Amino acid sequence: MISNLILFQIPILLFVIGALSGLLSRNSRLARPMIFVPSMIGSIFTIVFSIGIITGTQLKLVIPHILPLFDLEIFVDGISAFFMLIIGLVSFAVSLYSIGYSKEYEIQKRISAFGFLFNIFILSMILVVSSNNSFFFLIFWELMSLVSFFLVIYDHDKEENLKSGMTYLVMTHLGTAFIFTSFVLGYVQTGSFSFDSFRHGSTGFPLLVKNLVFVFAFIGFGTKAGMVPLHVWLPKAHPSAPSNVSALMSAVMIKIGIYGMIRTIFDFSGFGASPDFAWWGMLLVSIGSASAIIGVLYAVVERDIKRALAFSSIENIGIILVGLGLSVVFTSFHLTAFAVLALVASMYHTINHAVFKGLLFMGAGSVVSVTHTKNIEHLGGLVKQMPWTSLLFLIGAISISGLPPFNGFISEWFTLQALLSSYHIPSTILQISIAFASLPFALTIGIAAATFVKLFGMTFLSKTRSKNIVNIKEVPRSMILGMSILAAVCVLFGVVPYLGTSLISTAFHMSFQQSSPLDFISVQNSSGKSFANLSIPVVVIILSSVSIAIFGFIRVLSGHTKKTTYSTWDCGFGSLNERMEYTPTSLSQPIRAVFKVFFKPHNQTEKESFGENPYLLKTVKVETMIKNIFEEMLYTPIVSSFVFFFDKVRKLQTGKINAYLLYIMITLVLLLLFVRLSNNG
Amino acid sequence: MDTIQFDILTISGAILLIATFGIVATRGFMDWLNAYRYQSIVLSGVTAIIGYVTGIWEIYIAAGLTLVIKSIIIPKVLTYVTRKLEIEFKLETNPYVSIRASVIISALLVALSYFLIQQIPFKADQIVNAYLPVSMAQFFIGLFVLVNRRTVLSQVVGLLIIENGLFLFAMALTHGVSLLIEIGIFVDILVGILISSILLFRISRTFDSLDVGKLENLRDD
Amino acid sequence: MDSVITVIVGLIQVLVILALAPLLTGIIRKTKARTQKRIGASILQPYYDLLKLVRKDEVISDQTSWIFRACPWINFTTMTTAAFFIPVFLAYTPFGLVGDLILVIGLFALGRFFTMLAGLDVASSFGGLGSSREMMISSLLEPALFLSIFVVAITYGGTNLSTLISASSNSSFLPHPQILFAAIGLFIIILGETGRLPFDNPATHLELTMVHETMILEYSGKSLALMEWSQSIKQIILFTLMINIFVPWGISSSILLSTLVIGFLTFIGKISLFGIFVAFLESSVAKWRLFRIPDLIAIAIATSMIGIVLCYL
Amino acid sequence: MDNLISNLTILFLLLPPVVGACLITILKKKRVIGIITICAASLMLVQVLFLVSRIISQKTITAFGNAFYVDSLSAVILLSISVVGFVAALYSKNYMGRQYDNGTVDDKHIVRYYQGFNVFLLTMLVVPIANNLGVMWVMVEATTLVSVLLIMLYFKENAIEAAWKYLIIATVGLSFALIGTVFFYYANINTSPSEDAMNWTGMVHNAKLFDPNLVKIAFVFILVGFGTKAGLAPMHTWLPDAHSEAPTPVSAVLSGVLLNCAFYGIIRFHIISSVSIGPGFSNQLLIILAVVSIAIAAASIYFQKDMKRMLAYSSVEHMGLISLGIGFGGLLGIYGAILQIINHAIAKPLMFFASGTISQKYDAKAMSKIKGIIKVMPVTGILFLIGGLALVGMPPFNIFVSEFMILSSGFKSGQFVAVSIVILFLVVTFAVFLRHLIKMIFGSPLSEMKKSEMGKLAILPMAILGSLVVILGMYIPEQLQILIQNASTIINSGGFA
C-alpha cells in the first residue's frame, strides 16, 4: 500500500517537473513530450489518488508557520477528491490532446512558457480543492486565475485577446473579493482562518452572519462559475484562450467555483435543516435558471464556435446550480432523500459537463487548428475530411443536448426529477416557484439541442462556405486520442449511470439506492409507488436489438435495391453552390425573432452603388447584430459612472501649487474643527 | 505685577500680528522683505520678553540669533538672489483673493486660531496664553499667503511667515529648553531658504518668469 | 410465468403501435379527404406507400455524409424504442421500470436531432430552412411539454408511465381540474410535435409553409419509408398517450384475456375517433404564419402553468 | 561593554554613507564613485543586518547615552532603508552610466548625484534611530532638502517644477509636524519636566498623564504634517510630480523608503497618543485618511499617461493601506501594516527600476508609446509584470499577504463601512492599474525593436527584488516574523515589546 500522502505528492511533483521542464526545454523539439508527458502521468496519479480518497480515508496534513498566523493545511475528503477526479480526468485527456495541438507553438518557438503555465494551471486547481485554510485557498485560487489569465492572453498580439483577458482578470478578482469577505466573516466569528474552525464553529454563527457568508460566497464563487449576471468574462475569455486551455477552463476551472459553493454551503455557513435557509436554495434555483436560459439564448445565435461553447458553459452552470439549489431547499425542509437526488443531479451534471465540454472544446480546437477560423459562417463540410473529429464532436453534441443514451441525459433526467419532486415541499409558494423555474429550465434543454444542431451541422455538414478552407486534413492521432477518452467517458457515464451515482454517493457520503450497474434508478412517490424509473443499460439493449431487428426486417422486405449518388435537387436551376446554403445566422433567425425582446436584433446595412444612382447597387453588406443587454444595461453604466468619478478626481490634481496647499489647509482646519467640536459635544 | 506682565505679553503679541498683516497687505517684493524684517525684529523682541519672563538665558541667545538670521541674513540672501530679476517679477499683480479680502480673511484666521486653541488648558502659563494663538494665527496667515499668491517669491515669503510662527510657537511652549534642536531647526530653515533661492533662480532662468502659473505642466486633468 | 406473459403483452403493445401507426395516418388522410369533398385514398394507402418505397432504388445526394444515411435508421429505432414504454391497451407495461415519460421525450428529441442534422447535410437551402424552423418550434415545444407533464406527473404521482396511467385509469379527473388544463396544453403540443396544422402542413410541398417535409426532401426509397413510418409511430405514440392519460376508459388494468380484448377494441375506437377529430380540426383551420406559432405554444404553456397552480392550491 | 558595542554599532551604521560622500567629493571620478556608493550601501546593509540580529535577541538598543534608541520598529524601517539603498546603489551604476552616455547628465551632475545619494541615505538612516523626536523631525526635514536637490538634478523644466512643489508642500507640511511635536513635548513637560522630555522613550513613559485635548490637537498636526510627507491624500499632491521627475533610482528610494520614514513618524506619535487617550481617536483619523488615499489613488491611476506617475499614485494607495492597517489596529492589522511597509519597499523599487530600464529602452515615459515589453526585453518584462501584480495585491506575491491581514483586521475591528469601501477601491485599482500594465507588457512594439536587455547590472537589482517579492509571498523567514511580531507588539501595547 502506498500511503495517500505520497500519492498526493507524486502528482504535485510531476506537475512541477512538467512546469520546470517546460521552462528548461527552450522550445526544443523535445519540448512537447517534456511538458505534456509529466502532466499526463500526473493526471493519472491524481485520478488514482482521488479514487483512493473516495473509497478510502481522508487525507489531512498541516505544515505550520510558513507565514505568520497561517498554516498550510491540506485536507482532501470525498468532495475534494470528487473534484480532483474531474481535474485529473479532463487534464489527462487535454494533455494528451495538447501534444498534437501545441505543435503550432513549437514551430513559433513559444511553447516553453506555455508548458510552464499549463502545468501550473492544473497544479493550482488541484491545490485549490485540497487546501484547508482560507488564506492558502485564496492564494491558490488567485494563482489559478492568474495563470489562466496568462493562458487566455497567450496569443497576445491581438488587442482583443488582451481586452478579454483583462475583463476576465478583473471579474475574477472581484469575485475573489467576495470570497475573501465570506471567509473573513468566518474568521471574525471563529478567530481562525482554518477551514476546520469554520466547520466546527459555523453552526454557532448568528443567522445574519450565516446568510452573509452564504451570499458573499455565492457571488464570489458564482463569478468564477460564470453565473448570470457575473458571466461577462466567460464568453470573452474562453474563445481567446488556446483551445486546450479553453477546454481546461470551461470543463474544470469553472467547476472549482461550484466546489467553492458546495464547500461553503454545506461546510462553513452553518447551513442546517431549517426553513430559514430555504431562500438560499431558491436564490440558487432562480439564478441557475436565469443563467441556463440566458446562456443558451446567447449560444444559439452565436457565430463564433468557441464563444457559443462558452455561452453553453454558462447554461450548464445554470443547470448545475438549479440542482444544487433544489438540494439546499430539500435539505432545509428535511427531505433528505430528495436532497440526495438533487445533489446527485447537480454533481452528475458537473462531471458530465466537464467531460463533454472538454470534448467539445477540443473538437472546436481541432477545427480551428486546421481551418484557422472560429467563425462557423466560413465552415462546413468538414465531416468528409475530418471523420474522427466530427464523430467525436457529434458524441459531445448529443451528450450536451441531453439526449439518451449519453451522459447528459442522465443528469438532466435527475434534475428534472428533482424539479418534479418539489411537490413534497410543505410550502405552496415554493412549490409553485420551483414549478415555474422548470419552465426556463425546460426551454433551455430545448434550445441547447438547437444550438448543437447548429454548431455541428454548420461546422461539419454540407458544403464548406468559404473558399479559403481547402486542403483540410484530419488532426494528429494524439488529438483524436485525447478527445476519444472523453467521448468514451460520455458514453460510459451515459450507458452505465451506476458509475456516476455510486461515485457521487460515495464521495459525498450519501446513501443512494442504486446497488448495481443493472439496478433501476428509481424515485418513489408519496404513496410508495415508483414515481420514475430509469435503466439505461436496458434501454441500450432495446435500442440495439430494435435496430438489428428493423435492419433485418427492412432487408427482408426490400430485397435487393440499388443506391445511386446524384447531386442535391436544385429545382432545376443549375448547380448549387455554397452561397445558396443556409448560413448559421439564418439558421437561428427564427429563434432570434421569437426572442427579439431579449436580443433586440438589428441590421446594419452598407450599400455601395454605381455612380449617382442609388438603385444601381454594386454591393450590399448586411450585418445582423444583437444587443448584449448585460453589457448595455449593467456593466456600461457601472463602468461609466466610475470613469465619471475618476474624471472628477483627476480635476483635483490641477498642477496649481496653490490648490495643493489649500487642500492641506482645509484638511488641517477640518480635522482641528472635528476635534474641537467633538470635544464640545 | 502679573497683570502688567500679561499686558506686555498681549501687546507684544498684537504688534507681531500687525507686523504679519503688513506682509499680507503689501504687493511688492521689497515691501514684503521690509515687512518681514520688521516682523522678525518684533519676533526677536518677543523672544527676549519670553527670556525675561522665564529667566532662561538661552532664550536671549535665540533672540539674538533671530535678529541676526531673520532680519539680516535671510533678507540679504533673498535680495542677492533676486537682484538680477526684472522688476515685474517682483510684483504680485493678481492674487486669487484681493488684498482687501486677504486682510479680512487673515482676521478671520486669527479668530479661528483663538477658537481652536481655547480647549487646551494652559495651567495659567501666561506666555502660552498670550502667544500660542498668535503663533497659530501666523501659521494660518502664512499658509493663506501661500495659497493666495501667484508668484514664487511671495510663496517664499509665506514660508517665512510660517517659520516665524513656528519659532514663536516653539519658544512660547518650550521656553527653548533644547537649544540643540532649536539650532537644528534654524539650520534646516536656513538651508531650506537657500535651496528655495536656488530653485527661484532656476525657475526664473528656465521659465523666464516667476509666476507659479508657469509651473502647471505636471498635472492630471 | 406471470412476468413472461407481461413481457409478451408488452411486446404485443409495441407491435400494435408499429402496425397501427400507418393506419392512423390513413384514417386522418381519409377523413380530411372526405371533409374536403374528395373520396381520398384508401385508409390502407400508407401501408402500400411504405411497401412500395422500401422496394425502390435510392438516390442519395453526393453532398451528404453518413449522418444523412444513418438518420432514418436512428429515427426509426428511437421511435420504436419509445413505443416500448407506452401502455396501449394495458394500463402498464413491463418496460415501465426501464424508462419513463422523460425518456420517451428524450428519444423523440434524439430522433429529431438527427433529422435536423440530415436536413442540414444535403447542402440545399430547403434542408436548412426546415431545420431552422424545426429548431425554433421544437425548442419552444419542449418547455410546454415539460410543464404539461409536470401537471400530469404530480397529479397521478409519477413520470413512470405505468404508474401514471394506472393511476389515471383508477381515478376520475373530476377531483383534478388541473388535468383539463394539462389536456389542452398537451393537445396543442401534440399537434406541434406531430407536425399537424396549424403548425405544419404535412400535405404541402410549398417552401413557404412546410417544415418537416423540407428536412426529408432528399430522401427516397427505403430511407423515405423509414422516415415516414417513424413519423407515424411518433404520431400514434403521442395520440395514445393523450387518450390513455386523459380518457383512460376501458383500458385493461390486469392481464386477463377479456379485459385485454376490451381494452384493445376501445383503444382502436378511441384512437380512430381521436384521429378523426384531429382531421376535422385540421380541415377547419389554416396553417399559421411561422411567427404566430409561438403564440400558440404560449397558450399551451399558459394553460399548463394554470394547471400547476391548481395542483398546489 | 554592551554599551560600547551598541555605540559602535550605531556609529558604524552611520559611517559608510558619510565616508562614501566624503570619498566621492574627493575623488570625483565617474567610474569610481558608483562603486564607492555600492560599497557604502552594501556595508550599510551588512551593518543593518547585524543590528537587526541584535535587535531580535535584545529587543532594544540604546546608544550614546539616550540619543539613539533602536527597537524592532526602527529595525524594520532600517531594514527597508538598507535593502532599498543597496539595490538602488546597484541600479544607479547602470542607470546613471546610460544617462551619461545619452548626454542627459554630465560629470558634475554625476558627482552631485552620488553625493546627494549618500547624504540622502544618511539622513534617512538617522530618522528611525533618533530617540529625540526633535532630531527625528530635523532629519525628516533634511531628507526633504536633500531629495529636492536630487530631483532637480537635471534642471529640466518639469524637474524644477516638481522640486519646487515638493519643497514648498513638504516644508509646509513638516512645519505642522513640528508643531505637533512641540505640542507633545509641551504636554510632557507639563506633566513631568525632565531631561529627556523630548525623547520618545520619555514621552511614552509619561503619556498616560498627558492632557487628552492637547494630545488630540497635537496628533492632528502630526498626522497632517508627516502625512504630507508620507503621501496620504489629500496632502499627496506633490508626490506624483516628485516621484515621476526624479532620476529613477531616487524615485525608487523616495517611494520605497522615504515615505516609510515619514510614516514612521506618524506611528511613533500614534503610539504615544494611543497610550495617552486610547487608540480610538488616532485610529479613526488614520482610517479616514487611508480611505481617502486609497480612493483618490484608485481614481487617479485611470487617466495616467506617464508610467512613473502611475507608480507614484500606487504609492499613495499603499501608504493608505499601511495607515489603514495601523488604524484598524489589533495585532493582525498592525502586523499586516508593518509587513506592508516591508513589502511595499520591495515591490515599488522593483517597479521603478523596471520602468526606468523600459523608459531608457523605449526612450519614452508615456505609456501609450510602450508596447510589447515582453517581446523586446523578456526578463525585464517578466520582472515588471511580477512587480505590478504584486502591487495590485495578486497572490502568490508578497503584498497579498499583508493586504489580506489588513483587510481581515478591518472586519475583525468592525469597521465594515471603511473596509467595504477599501475593498471596492482595491478592485478598482486592480483593474485600472493592470489595464495600463498589460497594455505595456503584452502586444507588439509599435516599431521594430531589437530584442535585448539593458545590461546585467540593470537586471541584478530587479532580480533581487523580484525574487524577494515571490519568496515573501509564500514564505516569511522566522527571524523576520519575530521582528515584525515584536514591532507590532510595540505599536499594539504601548511602546514596548
pLDDT of residue A15: 93
Cβ-defined contact of D167 to B195 (cutoff 8 Å) = yes
Residues of A in contact with C290 (CB under 8 A): 590
What is the dihedral sign for C-alpha D387, D390, D396, D401? positive
Question: Rounded to whole angstroms, how far apart are CA atoms A85 and A43?
Answer: 9
Residues of D in contact with B195 (CB under 8 A): 145, 148-149, 167
Instruction: Determine what percent of chain D is predicted with pLDDT higher than 70.
Output: 100
Identify which of A139, A653, A664 has the shortest CB distance to residue D172.
A664
Residues of D in contact with A671 (CB under 8 A): 220, 223-224, 285
Name which of B9, B196, C274, A653 is nearest D238 in CA terms.
A653
Question: Rounded to whole angstroms, how far apart are CA atoms B205 and C3?
Answer: 111
Q: Name the grid cell of B54.
A: 522665564
| Residue D470 pLDDT > 70 | yes
Cβ-defined contact of D407 to A170 (cutoff 8 Å) = no
pLDDT of residue B2: 66
pLDDT of residue B18: 86
Question: Rounded to whole angstroms, how far apart are CA atoms D407 and D401?
Answer: 10
Q: Which helix (H) or strand (E) holds A62?
A: strand A59-67
pLDDT of residue A447: 92
Express each pLDDT in D415-431 by its tens digit.
999 999 999 999 999 99
Give the mean pLDDT of chain D: 91
Lowest mean pLDDT segment, chosen from A107-111, B17-21, D53-57, D166-170: A107-111
Q: Which of the 8 DSSP states describes residue A403?
A: -
Cβ-defined contact of A661 to B220 (cutoff 8 Å) = no
Based on its alpha-carbon atoms, the radius of gyration of chain C, rounded to whole angstroms, reads 19
**If 0-12 CB within 10 Å is exposed, 13-18 middle and 19+ buried, where does residue A562 land?**
exposed
Express each pLDDT in D336-357 by its tens digit.
999 999 999 999 999 999 999 9
pTM assigned to the model? 0.93
Q: Among C17, C18, C77, C152, pick the best mutation site for testing chain A contact (most A Cβ within 10 A).
A: C77
Tell me if B119 sits within 8 A of A676, measured CB to CB.
Answer: yes
Question: Rounded to whole angstroms, how far apart are CA atoms C302 and C185?
Answer: 8
Express each pLDDT in A498-537 by its tens digit.
889 999 999 988 877 677 777 788 887 777 778 888 888 8
- In order of B62, B160, B171, the CA distances from B59 in angstroms are 5, 20, 8
Q: Name the grid cell of C155.
A: 397529479
**Intervals of chain A under pLDDT 50:** 1, 681
Residue A174's φ and ψ, nearest 5 degrees, are -60, -45
Give the mean pLDDT of chain B: 82
Q: Name the grid cell of B118.
A: 481655547
Closest chain B C-alpha to A641 CA, distance in angstroms: 18
Question: Rounded to whole angstroms, how far apart are CA atoms A56 and A255?
Answer: 24
Residues of C in contact with A580 (CB under 8 A): 124-125
Identify which of B146, B218, B220 has the shortest CB distance to residue A661.
B146
pLDDT of residue C174: 67
Question: Rounded to whole angstroms, how far apart are CA atoms D6 and A100?
Answer: 67
What chains are in contact with D, requiring at least 3 Cβ pairs below 8 Å? A, B
Which residues in chain A (610-669) have CB-CB distances under 8 A to chain B? 650-658, 661-662, 664-665, 669
Question: Rounded to whole angstroms, how far apart are CA atoms C28 and C24?
Answer: 6
pLDDT of residue C178: 86
Domain edges within chain B: 2-214
Average pLDDT over residues D230-236: 91
Question: Cβ neighbours of residue C42 under 8 Å, at least 6 residues apart?
Answer: C26, C30, C48
Domain edges within chain D: 2-492
Between β-strands A530-534 and A521-524, what pairing exists: parallel, antiparallel or unpaired? antiparallel
Residue position matching grid coordinates 407506452: C86
Closest chain D C-alpha to A681 CA, distance in angstroms: 13
pLDDT of residue B123: 59
Q: Which of the 8 DSSP states describes residue B213?
A: G
- In order of A177, A245, B168, B198, D170, the CA distances from B32 in angstroms are 56, 72, 19, 19, 23
Residues of B in contact with A667 (CB under 8 A): none
Instruction: Estimate the crossing angle of helix A428-460 against helix A305-332, to 10 degrees.
Output: 160
Residue position matching grid coordinates 510630480: D241
Identify which of B143, B148, B217 has the shortest CB distance to residue A655.
B217
pLDDT of residue D328: 93
CB distance from D475 to chain A under 8 Å? yes
Instruction: Determine what percent of chain D is predicted with pLDDT higher than 90.
Output: 64
Residue A207 CB coordination number (10 Å): 11
Q: In which region does residue A623 sit, left (phi positive, over 0), alpha (psi from -120 to 50) or beta (all else)?
A: beta
Tell me if A380 sits within 8 A of C122, measured CB to CB.
Answer: no
Residue A347 CB coordination number (10 Å): 31
Between β-strands A602-609 and A617-625, what pairing exists: parallel, antiparallel or unpaired? antiparallel
pLDDT of residue A610: 79
One-letter identity of residue D218: A
pLDDT of residue C155: 87
Q: Is C90 helix (H, G, I), strand (E, B) or coil?
A: strand
Q: In which region does residue D60 sit, left (phi positive, over 0), alpha (psi from -120 to 50) or beta (all else)?
A: beta
- Range of C116-130, D181-195, D276-290 with top mean pLDDT: D276-290
Lowest mean pLDDT segment, chosen from A348-352, C49-53, D194-198, D265-269: D194-198
Tell me if D9 sits within 8 A of D74, measured CB to CB.
Answer: no
pLDDT of residue B122: 62
**Residue D124 pLDDT level (bands cut at 50, 70, 90):** very high
